């Protein structure tokens, strides 16, 4: 009875600590759309497994993507081959090495090792790269392990949403839209007539023009800080009152 009572007290204390931590995380969260990234563990009881940092990644077109993962295997084995593959139909089938694929060989860089780290970088991504990617390793004892499910990649461009015509004195809100919530912390940059609006660089994907004037008319586009991709321009016309 004494042991059972102690276990019950420990369980209640842990529950209280977890509850307080969750409340603090909610209170400290910024008033922006939150992206929840699920850590995926693909392990079995014998010590074989792959762990991916992100289950889903939303990346900007033409950017580079880091797919982070680690892997484990029982002692007594040596890793002979490591590689990433895609489009898994059935686990157990042979799957091609992406580094042998001409569409990936020049863009794929393995950043991991043959011990524990299996991270890769994929550069210049486009919508053609939207697949599920999985890590696979083979040991000296011909054991082949596939970390499935893996990382699902979605690639987005940017589009400016804007009213076509407004009247002088109106307040106008332009929005830089993407097809998915960008995984990396996004800092938006705005351009008018291909010139950057240097005073508008923040994590808000909206540009607010208060009391617009005729000089505010022009072609507006948006981008992310640190990326070369710039959205197509949307034209804003300002009419006289």
**Taking a C-beta distance cutoff of 8 angstroms, is the pair 136, 85 a contact?**
yes
Given this model, what pLDDT does residue 30 score?
34
pLDDT at residue 16, rounded to an integer: 43
The superfamily in CATH containing domain 158-239 is Immunoglobulins (2.60.40.10)
pLDDT for 183 equals 67
pLDDT under 50: residue ranges of the chain: 1-40
pLDDT value at residue 68 = 97
Domains of the chain, residue spans: 40-155, 158-239
* pTM score, whole prediction: 0.74
CA angle, 132 then 135 then 118, to 5°: 125
C-alpha to C-alpha distance for 241 and 168, rounded to whole angstroms? 6
Same fold, 40-155 and 158-239: yes
Domain at 40-155, CATH from 2.60.40.10, 3.10.150.10, 1.10.3210.10, 3.10.20.30: 2.60.40.10
pLDDT of residue 12: 45
Residue 201's pLDDT is what?
55
Instruction: Give pLDDT, residue 87.
Output: 85
Which tens digit of pLDDT belongs to each residue from 116-158?
999 999 999 999 999 999 999 999 998 899 999 999 999 999 9
């Amino acid at each position: 009875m004494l042991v059972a009572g102690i276990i019950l007290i420990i369980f209640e204390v842990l529950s209280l600590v977890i509850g307080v931590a969750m409340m603090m995380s909610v209170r400290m969260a910024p008033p922006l759309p939150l992206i929840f990234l699920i850590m995926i563990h693909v392990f079995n009881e014998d010590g074989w497994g792959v762990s991916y940092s992100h289950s889903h990644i939303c990346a900007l077109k033409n950017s580079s993507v880091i797919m982070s993962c680690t892997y484990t295997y029982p002692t007594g084995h040596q890793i002979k081959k490591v590689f990433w593959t895609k489009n898994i139909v059935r686990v157990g089938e042979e799957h091609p090495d992406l580094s042998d694929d001409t569409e990936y060989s020049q863009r794929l860089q393995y950043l991991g090792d043959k011990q524990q780290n299996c991270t890769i970088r994929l550069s210049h991504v486009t919508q053609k790269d939207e697949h599920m990617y999985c890590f696979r390793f083979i040991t000296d004892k011909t054991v082949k392990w596939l970390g499935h499910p893996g990382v699902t990649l979605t690639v987005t461009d940017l589009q400016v949403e804007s009213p076509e015509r407004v009247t002088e004195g109106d307040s106008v809100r332009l929005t830089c839209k993407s097809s998915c919530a960008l995984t990396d912390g996004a800092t938006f940059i705005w351009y008018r007539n291909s010139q950057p609006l240097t005073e508008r660089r923040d994590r808000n994907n909206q540009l607010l023009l208060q009391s617009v004037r005729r000089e505010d008319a022009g072609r507006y586009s948006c981008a992310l800080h640190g990326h070369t991709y710039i959205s197509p321009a949307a034209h804003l016309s300002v009419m006289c009152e």
